[in-house]
Structure 1
Amino acid sequence: MTTYRKAIRNKVTSSLKALKWLAPFSLVNILFHSLLFILCVSIVIIFSLVLFTDISRTRDYLIVLGFLAAALTLTYNVRRHLSEDYFKEAREQLQKAFEILNVYDAEGRLSNDRLRWLTAARTLLIAERIGRKIMMSSHKEINIEDRQFWRMKFHGIVKNFSEDFYAEEPVHMIHHMADVRSPISEASLVIIHEFIDWDESYADPLKRELFSDEKLDLLDRHYPHMVRVLRTVRRIRAENYAGVEAQNR
């Protein structure tokens, strides 16, 4: 029975992946794609009817097409407005999560207040939940870039803190007395560090770019130290490559 259930679950998962372009599966989004499909099919059918039947009925066919087009346009506008609302709210929640955590004590250290870390983690989860409801591809792309921006912002403040930053004693993360500082919850650490981790599915727009020799000559006038480092790197690479080639002979 367990194997059968796993097989069914795998089939459902595969089907959902195939329909990923339909996500999110909201009423408005499904209605929009349904109307789009019906309109495309209707155009083909009506075009065939006009060619092979009485042309005097063309007016009736055009009325049907006009109705479908109007319904599709209305649904598209509703879909776009909803998607924009989700997109803006997701962006606001990401910023709010960072502002909640980006607080420092009198000595300039990041706050280790348990409630603050929990609230920041919850806010990140809210941003992700709302982000999954975005329907327009343009809004989805911008949301991905927003996440990358705030990921780097979080990365800039979440460091390898000392052990007592998280709890006065490790055992306090299991249980502690009321007169002890509340430790940072591991649940909040999981959410925040998962958000900070590099997203492997992200298509990095920054390719492996290298200056040409001509460009280095031009840059040498204003940035000689940078150029000296880059030329040294090129020399080391060439030497390493020559050494590898010599070993392979």
Structure 2
Amino acid sequence: MTVAVIQFGGSNCDRDAVRALAHLGIDAERVWHEDGLPEDASGILIPGGFSYGDYLRAGAMAARSPVMAEVREAADEGVPVLGVCNGAQIGCESGLTDGVFTTNESARFQCEHVFLRVENADTPWTRAYDEGDVVEIPIAHGEGRFEITAERYERLVAEDRVLFRYCDAEGNVTDEANPNGSTGNVAGILGKRDTVAVLMPHPERATLPDVGGTDGQGVLRGFDGE
């Protein structure tokens, strides 16, 4: 049983994801999107990068790859699915979650460490934390601003499907702590099942102790099934 890390043309965080998962004792392998999902895939990670050069919209072309139909089917069956950065954009574009990710409010690429507040600790991706915990995980994106209609945003909140919000070091959710202008400071959300999640920050870059800290380990442990 292995986590399938799906690689598209332009993916560039797939090796990082495999290495981070291996560090946690979670088997993972890179899977070229044209080859489809392995039959024994116990989880699916859609990594960051710039699939198809972000043409049209970030994630729009990869979302229409045939493998994403397999991902949606697996998600409906309860297989854990996590989209990170470009993977989050692909996840939204393919209908795994609500909303979209669009151009940062700054209109520039941003690569920096940010603080996130855990909003829902009762999910596979956040069970390692307590609600209200503050973690530090890096971002690296040009189209990371989460946008959603007011009605759907209210539904996300009501259904407790917001995983993380951007905050300051003390956990205060403020405009100043919002790096990209995301609606409600949202950094990560759940799909219809809590086994499906997308987030803009990079937990795999905060997993190896010698590289970027370890605050992201808890997110990736959503694949270990414990």
Q: TM-score range by the shorter chain?
A: under 0.3
- Counting helix residues as a fraction of each chain, which structure ranks higher? 1
- Counting strand residues as a fraction of each chain, which structure ranks higher? 2
Decide which structure has the larger Cα Rg and report it.
Answer: 1
The alignment's TM-score, normalised by the length of structure 1, stands at 0.19
The alignment's TM-score, normalised by the length of structure 2, stands at 0.20
Higher RCO (CA 8 Å, separation ≥ 6 residues): 2
